[in-house]
Amino acid sequence: MLANVLKKVALVLLVVVVYQNWGKIERLIDPSQMVSEQTRAQANVVLYATDWCGYCKQTTRFLDSKGIPFKEFDIEKDAAARKAYEALGGRGIPLIDVNGTLIRGFDPDEILAALK
């Protein structure tokens, strides 16, 4: 009986790990979805987010899946990040600064357009 419980716990943990790292897994499965080396080298992406925000997690997975490097700041845990977020106008999360272009909310097409 204990073995069955441990198997179920292990399965749940595996599902959580896969879910959290889906962008990286997807990139391994289909590398054609990645952006060019030049685009990645020139990318200056800053993500202002929180732990509990689903759209923030989607943004993180998207950037990971495309191989786009980014810096993520939790505006609830980092006072300096909160100040920078507010200086940019705040108003909701995620707030993404892509090469100087501000994107409010998760919009993959807008992120890719700002990278070009």
Question: Is residue 41 classed as helix, strand or coil in its secondary structure?
Answer: helix
Please name the residue that has the structure tokens 């069955």: 4
pLDDT tens sequence across 77-89: 999 999 999 999 9
Q: What is the Cα–Cα distance from 61 to 26, expressed in whole angstroms?
A: 9
Among 34-48, 55-69, 85-99, which stretch is predicted with the lowest mean pLDDT? Answer: 34-48
Secondary element (H or E) of residue 14: helix 2-20
Domain boundaries, the chain: 2-115
pLDDT digits (tens, 9 = 90+) for 1-47: 888 888 888 899 888 888 777 767 766 666 555 566 666 566 789 99
Which numeric CATH code is attached to 2-115? Answer: 3.40.30.10
Cα 12 from Cα 61, distance rounded (Å): 20
Q: Comparing C-alpha atoms, which of 103, 105, 40 is closest to residue 66?
A: 40
